[in-house]
Chain A
Amino acid sequence: MSVELWIALLAGALGTYLIRLLPLLWMQRRLRHSRERAGTESMPAWLGVLGPMMIAAVLGVSLVPRVPDATGWIATLVGLAATLLTWRRTRSLGLPVIVGVATFGVMTLVRPMLG
């Protein structure tokens, strides 16, 4: 890899790191100021809403199956239903994911028979 390419890689890495770091420093300063001046709104309301929305958006993006045909969508929906039902019973993090992946795996295996 050429020196120019290494510089490009480091620029991409540093820029990505700063995108993650600088907003933290800004928010920490804002929180410190709001503690000093009691009663000031510490976090803007839109930011508090945007956090869960970003997670929901990443969920939406990840829902598209690798093979986006009818059976791929059915396998995704059944896998999600299994995940949801397990979460309702256990309210935990790991087990619903394991059950969801296993169900999706079974659906993927039987897909040739469905298709």
Chain B
Amino acid sequence: MSDHDLATSTAPAWLGGVRDSLPLLSGYIPVAVSFGLVATQAGFSSLETLAISALIYAGASQFVFVGMVAGGAPLWLAVAMTLLINLRHVVYAPNLAPWLPPSRWWPWLMHGLTDQVFALAHARLPQLAERQRVGWFCGAALLAWLSWIAGSLLGAIAGEWLMAQWPLLGEVMPFALPALFLVLVVPRFTSPRWALALCVCIAAALAFTLGGLANVGIPLAAALGGLCFFTLRAPRLPGAHR
């Protein structure tokens, strides 16, 4: 659906959110299945795995949490690491706030503000009419959350069997995430200044990940990109005053 269609659509807003978040599922479900499998192998029951996915709901930190607990690390340290990894989420809501009309639902909906939902909402909310935004976010965030929970449960119950049956599926489907992020980032290449800063940011994040620092790499790469953006000056027009 094009941007114009989205703004003038008469379909229920939540349905638009569900439709827009569908690409997330092919990225979420294989990772959630992996998490369910890892958690049960670490000694957590299916119910406990479900509780972790439903309540913490932050992929990378969940893997760290169960890994540290299974490895016998102090619980306070496991919690501290979980929060440290999720600290990058601190900039998400303020970036969306200008497009959130008053509603008592927003505080509750913030539980669903993952990296992917933020990226989607940051691109889509400005294109929607104000009255559609709560419904859209509700549809998108709920589908993503439920798919994460369902995938985790599936992984806990039948993860080993699934991985043995369709090993290629687990390798191919997660490509939906870089594909989706690319589609969300490309419209931001609006000037050489933005293009250079975004390229620096992407390259830095890639380098951090290859160096084994994926989680710390996200805020660091974003900060580097931001630094690049503010260091580069937009070309001044002849005769323009400083």
- Pair from one complex: yes
**Footprint of B on A, CB under 8 Å?**
1, 4-5, 7-13, 15-17, 19-21, 23-28, 31, 42-43, 46-64, 66-68, 76, 79-80, 83-84, 87, 90-94, 96-98, 100-101, 104-105, 108-109
Chain B residue nearest to A81 in the complex (CB) = B182
Residue of A9, A58, A67, A91 with most chain B CB atoms under a 10 A cut-off: A58
Known: A5-B75, A15-B79. A109 touches B110 (CB 8 A): no
Residue of A59, A66, A84 with most chain B CB atoms under a 10 A cut-off: A59
19 contacts between A and B (CB under 8 A): A5-B75, A8-B69, A12-B56, A16-B56, A16-B86, A16-B89, A19-B89, A21-B93, A21-B107, A24-B94, A24-B100, A25-B107, A43-B94, A52-B122, A57-B202, A62-B174, A63-B205, A93-B20, A94-B23
> Is B65's CB under 8 angstroms from A83's CB?
no
Q: Which of B7-15, B217-225, B234-242 contacts A (4 or more CB under 8 A)?
A: B217-225
B195 CB to closest chain A CB (Å) equals 11
Q: Does B163 contact A (CB under 8 A)?
A: no
A-B residue pair count with CB separations less than 8 angstroms? 264
* Contacts A57-B205, A59-B184 supplied; 19 other A-B pairs, CB < 8 Å: A12-B56, A12-B78, A12-B79, A16-B82, A19-B87, A49-B225, A50-B91, A52-B188, A54-B91, A55-B181, A56-B181, A57-B202, A57-B225, A60-B201, A61-B205, A63-B206, A68-B210, A83-B182, A105-B175
